[in-house]
Structure 1
Amino acid sequence: MILRPGDSPIELDPSAVLDTAAMDDLFRQVPLSILIAAGITGFKVPDIERRIRDAYSQDPSSIHVKDNQGQSALRAAIYAKNLVAIQALLALPTESGVQEELRSRDETGWTPVEACERQIRSDSELDLLLRRVREAPDSLRALYLLKKASGEDVQVTQEQFINDRQWGCSCGQCTDGWLSPRMRFRLKWAAEVAGDTMMLESEATPRQGQRLFDEPGIEFLPETYQDEGVSKSFYRGYTDAVRTVARVLQKPGRDGLPLVPNLVAEFGNQTAFFLSGGADAARHALSYALFNAMEESPLGDQTWDDMQEELAEEGDTLSARYMSLPKCANDLDFTRVAERTGLPDLERFQGYSSHRGYRMDVDDMGFRDEDDEGDNE
């Protein structure tokens, strides 16, 4: 069904393929934006590129006629993720007004570029929630074209742009497209503090043969170790594994990603006492560091962020450096880090914000946190 402003709806069979004459007749009945948006329902418009050109030639104002949702042809193409339609609209002459529309904001306050970014982010979060394997989507190709057309200085190729952003990056500086500079800094700090705390706890243990049960991080180990306790040498190996997370994150580029192979390659001799210093040791250490970082973030009690802001105001160079890093949609995406690093306990990091009374939203600068409307009712 296609809705026409101020008129009765047109019933369409999504499986139908209309001939050229029938499609031309349909063009005369409904705005171009509605026809493009119909693709969302499964109704495929054949040769949409030619039809957009023909519609513009017959009536240049047709591309600006809005549908019932207030969307022009360009906005509808973004919403429908119709790359071909976006390309056709951007290829229209300057006098078409498409360039001006790229700089305009709709009733939601978003430009076409920002609307496309939000659509991509929403799709990314849904893919992660459903554990779907993502491929480089046409929406990222569309975003690249929209940014270029709007005059943004995009200094990379389209393929590099897609590679950098296919895992949710909005800053263009995420390593491998998912580990943002701020997340790297946050996680490194959390691993360092956790490792130092564990070392102090280990040194405070009076006897070598004493079993440890309640020391920091033990709750992240398999239940057998929690129930039976661990030896001091085992715990020291665990401590070294957590501190290794920080050492790896210090490295630039892909070598600094907290992936299992990178962590295992960096393990020292002491780590061999902790789960043989293998992949399991790396996953448990990373899981502990990542959860600590999340608990002190705006998704938890926000103590770490408040501390960084205060220290930066006092002139601390390290905190000032963090505050100067670019903001990104991945800055608080702990679930993405867990998923990309292969942590088995992904559920531990999913939906964390909901029970804390936060809702994450992404603006053009990064994240903003809002009170959950449901909690206020």
Structure 2
Amino acid sequence: MSETKQTCTCGQCFEGWLSPRMKELLDYSTELRYGLAKSLLHTQDGVGEDVTSVLPIDYTHIDNSVYYLPLEVRHKIGPSTQSGDAVYRGYIAVFEAIKDLLSEERKDFPTVATVSAKLAELRDSEDASLKPIAVFLDNGGKAEYALDCIVDRAREELTPLGRLYDAETQYIDAVLDGEENHEKCANDLDFGLVREKLGLSVESLGALPDDDEDSRDPVSDDEE
């Protein structure tokens, strides 16, 4: 038995590392990130062009998922850049692609390789609504930026390991309340293992404005 499989204590982890509770966290984080961005786009699209040409939405100051993009890509998003809107829409299309992959009722979570392959397929589509994906990729965008955001926001917002976790919500304990056959597992909070298996860097590359290295909780024993 491999070392990875030995970390599973519930007997239900996908390939011995992705517990049902962790899977639920990542699924929910994906929904949150995509839902916020989609609402911003609906707001932008619902305002007349005569107004948005003067007061366009600056996504970089509203959607914190943008801070998981490297500076050279992030600087291409915003009202001051000609392609900024298309780059942002392409980035959000990556979250949508991940969400669509999850709708296939898969037991795993899409890896960097899986999402990258999906984006390559979508960028060649004749569907005009998918053109922003090509713009995003051509401007330095990659699948791992969205996946990094999803995983890191899940840790920071939805579990006791994070600075933004609402203790009253107790998400990790309540998310599967009433569900059968979903026991707690040693892998439930092992984000380090998840990052490795998804093909992400050991540490998140996200740099939110109020983030600094000292403000983050230290890596737990489960994440090493």
Report the TM-score, using the length of structure 1 for normalisation.
0.42
Name the aligned partner's letter for residue 91 of structure 2: Y
For residues 264 and 305 of structure 1, the distance between their equivalents in structure 2, rounded to whole angstroms, comes to 37
- Alpha-carbon contact 1:298-1:305 (below 8 Å) kept: no
The equivalent position to 2:156 in structure 1, one of 284, 287, 295, is 295
Q: For residue 264 of structure 1, report the CA deviation from its aligned partner.
A: 3.1
1:246 aligns with 2:121: no
Find the counterpart in structure 1 of residue 186 from structure 2: 329
> Residue 202 of structure 1 aligns to a residue in which SS?
helix
Would you say how many aligned residue pairs link Structure 1 and Structure 2?
191
Tell me, yes or no, if structure 1 residue 190 matches structure 2 residue 29. yes
1:5-35 per-residue CA deviation (whole Å, 9 max, x = no partner) reads xxxxxxxxxxxxxxxxxxxxxxxxxxxxxxx
Q: 1:347 maps to what in 2?
A: 203
- Specify which of 52, 58, 61 is matched with residue 214 of structure 1: 61
Letter in 2 for 1:181: P
Question: Quick check: 1:180–1:331 contact (8 Å CA) kept in 2?
Answer: yes
Aligned-partner Cα distance in 2 for 1:263–1:277: 17
1:165 is displaced (CA, Å) by 0.5
Per-residue deviation at 1:355? 5.5
Alpha-carbon distance in structure 1 between the residues aligned to 2:97 and 2:167: 21
Cα distance in structure 1, aligned partners of 2:219 and 2:195: 20
CA contact (8 A) 1:169 1:178 kept: yes
**1:188–1:250: 8 Å Cα contact kept in structure 2?**
no
Q: Say which SS state the counterpart of residue 188 (structure 1) adopts.
A: helix
Task: Give the alignment's Cα RMSD to 1 decimal.
Answer: 3.8
- How far apart, in 2, do the equivalents of 1:194 and 1:323 lie? 28
Q: Compared with structure 1, are the counterparts of its residues 327 and 307 closer, same or farther at alpha carbon in structure 2 (3 Å cutoff)?
A: closer
Larger relative contact order, structure 1 or 2 (CA cutoff 8 Å, min sep 6) = 2
- Provide Cα deviations, 1:189-230, integer angstroms capped at 9, x if missing partner: 011111010111223235379564323111111112333434
Q: Name the residue aligned to 1:165.
A: 5
Higher Cα radius of gyration: 1
Change in Cα spacing, 1:319 to 1:178, as seen in structure 2 (3 Å) is closer
Which residue number corresponds to residue 174 of structure 1? Answer: 13
Conservation of the 8 A alpha-carbon contact between 2:21 and 2:172 = no
Q: Distance in 1 between matches of 2:139 and 2:30?
A: 17
Q: Which residue of 2 aligns with 1:237?
A: 90
**Does the Cα contact within 8 Å between 2:97 and 2:115 map onto a contact in 1?**
yes
CA deviation map 1:13-66 (0-9, x unaligned): xxxxxxxxxxxxxxxxxxxxxxxxxxxxxxxxxxxxxxxxxxxxxxxxxxxxxx
User: Which residue identity lines up with residue 236 of structure 1 in the other structure?
Assistant: R
What do the CA deviations read for 1:156-189 (whole angstroms, capped 9, x no partner)?
A: xxxxxx48705x3222222222211111110110
Change (3 A) 1:305 1:329: farther
Q: Name the % identity.
A: 29
Distance 1:309 1:259 in 2: 22
Letter aligned with residue 225 of structure 1 = V
Structure 1 distance, partners of 2:26, 2:139, is 21
1:327 Cα shift? Answer: 1.3
Q: Which residue of 2 aligns with 1:261?
A: 113
Amino acid across the alignment from 2:98: V
Distance 1:274 1:323, change over 3 A: farther
* Equivalent AA in structure 1 for residue 34 of structure 2: G
**Aligned 8 A contact 2:113 2:199 in 1:** no
Cα distance change, pair 338–208 in 1 and its aligned pair in 2 (3 A): farther
Gaps of 5+ in 2: 79-83, 123-129, 206-211
- Tell me the CA shift for residue 293 of structure 1: 0.4
CA distance in 1, matches of 2:167, 2:102: 18
Partner residue of 2:209?
none
Q: State the distance in 2 between where 1:253 and 1:305 align.
A: 30
